[in-house]
Amino acid sequence: MPTDANTVFRGADLSMVQSAFRAALAKQPTTAAARGTQSATHVGGPHPQTEDFNTALEAVSTGQPIPATMSDGQIIDQCAKLGAELAWAKVTGNQAHAAQLETALAFGTCDPLWTEVAVEYEAFKLSKQPIPYRGYGGDLSKFVLPLPAGDANGIRIGIFADWGTGTSDAVNLLTAILAQSPHVLIHLGDIYYPRTR
């Protein structure tokens, strides 16, 4: 089964669910130790049920039934299905269904990870604060900065955006930019999928 599925949920709540999944994985020392901390906590990181969870979550969030198998024919894990249903019940505020699913997970044979994802999601939701954007106040000169001196070849400027921090693509992109020894880095925004930072 592929273990580096990068399903991208564009909505804030589903992105937060992915962050909760990552945070729950990060709290499992055996997972982090066995697979390496960075990859184990990656948004689409190599947990055996990541693709199952993403497939199930995508189905329930679009009002579709959860398929029995993924596109490659692999059977979707029942616990991942319950975890996705629980996450969606939390997102939509369906407390009665969430309570039923929590009971099924608590008294079944599923990994406690799935309940932990819901707990993390609720913690993220409760701690969410307004983003303190700084307006320009009508004076754009506040944001005009002097350029560095550069070198014999001039000034190298690296510009990047929309890269989804935490993915291997993001690491590769920044590595490639830094290999050019830029004097200035300009980031245009949209650095991450999860909405928990």
pTM confidence score: 0.59
pLDDT of residue 192: 57
161-186 residue pLDDT tens: 877 666 777 888 889 999 999 999 99
Domain match, 119 and 149 both = no
Mind listing the pLDDT tens digit for each residue in 87-143? 899 889 899 999 999 998 888 888 888 888 888 888 877 777 666 667 777 888 877
- Is there a single domain that holds both residue 117 and residue 155? no
Q: Is residue 74 part of a domain?
A: yes
Let me know if residue 135 belongs to a domain: no
Same domain, 20 and 57: yes
Q: What is the pLDDT of residues 33-65, one digit of tens each?
A: 343 333 333 334 456 677 888 888 889 989 999
In a shared domain, residues 77 and 24: yes
Is residue 65 situated within a structural domain? yes
The span from the CA of 180 to the CA of 33, in Å, is 34
Residue 3 falls inside a structural domain: no
Are 147 and 123 found together in one domain?
A: no
What residues make up the domain containing 164?
143-187
| Six-digit token string for 112 | 């406690």
**Shared-domain flag, residues 150 and 113:** no
Number of structural domains, the chain? 2
d(CA 20, CA 118): 7
Q: Do 28 and 88 lie in a common domain?
A: yes
* Beta carbons within 10 angstroms of residue 196's beta carbon: 19
- Same domain for 86 and 30, yes or no, is yes
Let me know whether 98 and 148 are in one domain: no
Domain match, 123 and 168 both: no
